[in-house]
Chains A and B, each alone.
Chain A
Amino acid sequence: MEFAPYLFLATLEGAVTAAVLALTAVGLSLVFGVMRVVNVAHGEFFMLGAVLAWWVAHMLGGHPGLGFAAALLIAPLMVGLIAVAADMTVLKRIEYDPERTIVATIGILYIIQQVTLMTYGPDARPVEPPFNTRLAIPWFRFGEDGVELYWPWGLATTSYKLAVIGAAGVVLLCVWLLMARSRIGLLMRATQLDREMALAFAIPVERIYAIVFGLGAGLAALAAVLIVPISQAHYLMGGDPLLLSFIVVIIGGLGSLPGTVVAAILIGLSDGIISVFFSPTLAKILATLLVALVLVFRPQGLFGVRRA
């Protein structure tokens, strides 16, 4: 294949990564923004979403579309409930102290991961996509009589990958509507701006925290359900999304949702493109160093505004 179609293919793969990453990172960013805590177990909620999706699809059997649709509803809901339970039994009791929360969520990370290992096992298992038509993409070249179209060998995507990108866009729009237009979103923003004042106005801050924590985890699980037909469900799959979400949230400015989405697209696309042309390990080294240096020299993120 020539360079230009190859780059286009890498961009397309990057767009799928970016879509899933945006959902996961928005979940993490929401939790950080409203609750001011870092949830290190976020990647494990992602993993749990994928594993539950496999479980639901496996239990239902029948047409892959049916199992997938059920998983799309059930897995994020269950993960959200588990997160709410974790919030109420652990985080609430340590009063959302930022440093102790990190230690506690590291503990939760290991508990979820190892319980999955004990029940689900160490295998990677696939979920069948509901539809998976191969779509060849035409490319153009300058022939003898002007521009002509042709189908380069290997330049193709699947309808499912395009659907993932579309679905992620719809969900992000819903999150934005929820935050900007609904009453619960208003309460969340009020809690984010000033916890004390929100309490004084009789906003049930602890319930809001539980909802936000569940919503964040649910978004990660939803992202995982979308990606699991492309990759596979495995008990160690939470590490990379966690790292990438961290990177995205920090680059995008801690707690800023639009910044998070922009950064997710940027990081997802460049990750896709860089991993195609360079060693993935080198790409990860550069990305982690970039995050550390951004935090050191520009703590408000590349797109964030410095808080007073």
Chain B
Amino acid sequence: MSDTTRTMTLHVAVLAGLLALQFVLPAYHHGNLARVMVLASYAMGYNILFGYTGLLSLGHALFFAAGMYGMGLAVQHLGAGPLPALGAGLAAGVAVSAALGALALRTAGVAFMIVTLMFAQAGYLTVLYFGTWTRGDEGFVIAQAQRVLWGLDLSDPANRYFAALALFAACLLSVLWLVHSRFGRVLVAIRENEERTRMLGYDVFAHKLAAVILSGAMSALAGACYGLLFGYVGATFASVQYSIFPLLWVLLGGAGTVLGPLIGTLFMFYLIDLSSQVTTAYMLIAGVVLVALTLFAPQGLAGEVRARLWRWLP
């Protein structure tokens, strides 16, 4: 089998497996998996920037929240239907990521991390400041009647699962296409050696900016879908924690791998889910996993698989 066939077989098999799980999973895990797929889409968006372009952002909650609030505010205050609302969320994400990218990409390394962190913090505080419209920490619920898309009620578990799977599949296939495209290869080249890429005549800044916008757009779409599918929009999703989570998921699953974000999100979600039955201090697990990962497995799970078993894994 050629590498391309293997890759396609593996990823189609994963999608088919997720589709099949819809019919066998008990209700609780069924709902969880829908959530995990949306969050994994967010992580895949993060992975475009972190895993493939080598830019570590600590402010992706800004994009996630831009999508979520773009969608939520359009529904709440403009009475938009689900589809225009998702469009509004996506547009908000693109606008915010373009603005942030244009500014933050003037810096590099640690300064880039701090600048993204600061902008995300400012975004979070802005959500709190305009509490009249955003309802601040309390958030607001999107009514069931406003969550009907093409006659499908998205609050129904089965429909919600299919919608989450559709989003996940779309993101997975776009990332898969991206890493095989010329554009994606330039991003990897920038990650590996920025100066050399510039010397070869590529416009590094333009490519990085495009990566930020692409990553921001995918994160925003995931945010908008999260709000729409689970019917809640709140300031927690703009907080620092939601910037750290995708980093954690991607690091755990394997940065720069297509399936890594799904593996990492699934693993971490259930780790926190199980531990929160024991203690309220579930973020302790996140902290320990972060430290352990930086110490022992900087490549993550899928990264280790690629290094040891399947060298063709994209």
Which residues in A have some Cβ–Cβ distance to B below 8 Å?
38, 90, 93-94, 98-100, 102-104, 106-111, 113-115, 117-118, 243, 246, 250, 279, 281-282, 284-285, 288-289, 291-293, 295-297, 299
List, in ascending order, chain B residues with CB within 8 A of A118's CB.
279, 281, 284
CA distance A264 to B126 in the complex (A): 24
Q: A243: nearest residue on chain B (CB-CB)?
A: B121
Q: Is the CB of A99 within 8 A of B125?
A: no
Q: Is the CB of A102 within 8 A of B122?
A: no
Chain A nearest CB from B11 CB (Å) reads 28
Q: Quick one: given A90-B295, A110-B283, A118-B281, are A102 and B118 in contact (CB under 8 Å)? A: no
List, in ascending order, chain A residues with CB within 8 A of B115's CB.
292, 295-296
B109 at the A interface (CB under 8 A): yes
Q: A290: nearest residue on chain B (CB-CB)?
A: B118
Q: B287: nearest residue on chain A (CB-CB)?
A: A110
B294 at the A interface (CB under 8 A): yes
B12 at the A interface (CB under 8 A): no
Chain B nearest CB from A266 CB (Å) reads 18
List, in ascending order, chain A residues with CB within 8 A of B280's CB.
117
Q: Is the CB of A281 within 8 A of B56?
A: no
Which of A98, A111, A250 is B284 in contact with, Cβ under 8 Å? A111
CA distance A86 to B214 in the complex (A): 37
Q: Which residues of B, 25-61, contact A by the 8 Å Cβ criterion?
A: 56, 58
Q: Quick one: given A110-B287, A115-B284, are A296 and B295 in contact (CB under 8 Å)? A: no
Q: Is the CB of A94 within 8 A of B110?
A: no
Which of B111, B118, B290 is A106 in contact with, Cβ under 8 Å? B290
B286 at the A interface (CB under 8 A): yes
Q: Is the CB of B109 within 8 A of A296?
A: no
List, in ascending order, chain A residues with CB within 8 A of B283's CB.
110, 113-114
Which of B56, B122, B295, B298 is A292 in contact with, Cβ under 8 Å? B122
CA distance A299 to B113 in the complex (A): 13
Q: Is the CB of A111 within 8 A of B118?
A: no
**Chain B interface size, under 10 / 10 to 19 / 20 to 34 / 35 or more:** 35 or more
List, in ascending order, chain A residues with CB within 8 A of B292's CB.
107
Give 6 CB contacts A-B under 8 Å: A99-B109, A103-B247, A117-B280, A243-B121, A279-B129, A296-B115
List, in ascending order, chain B residues with CB within 8 A of A115's CB.
281, 284
B251 at the A interface (CB under 8 A): yes
Q: B291: nearest residue on chain A (CB-CB)?
A: A107
Q: A122: nearest residue on chain B (CB-CB)?
A: B280
Q: B292: nearest residue on chain A (CB-CB)?
A: A107
CA distance A282 to B119 in the complex (A): 14
Q: Is the CB of B295 within 8 A of A104?
A: yes
List, in ascending order, chain A residues with CB within 8 A of B286's CB.
107, 110
Q: B243: nearest residue on chain A (CB-CB)?
A: A106
Q: Is the CB of B281 within 8 A of A100?
A: no
Q: Is the CB of B287 within 8 A of A108?
A: yes
Nearest 6 interchain pairs by C-beta: A110-B287, A107-B290, A114-B284, A107-B291, A114-B281, A111-B287
Q: Is the CB of B284 within 8 A of A104?
A: no
Chain B nearest CB from A235 CB (Å) reads 9
List, in ascending order, chain B residues with CB within 8 A of A279's CB.
129
Q: Is the CB of B287 within 8 A of A107?
A: yes
Besides A94-B294, A114-B287, 14 new A-B residue pairs in contact (Cβ under 8 A), listed by A number: A102-B58, A102-B113, A107-B290, A111-B288, A115-B284, A117-B280, A118-B284, A250-B114, A281-B128, A291-B118, A292-B114, A292-B115, A293-B103, A295-B111
Q: Is the CB of A93 within 8 A of B295?
A: yes
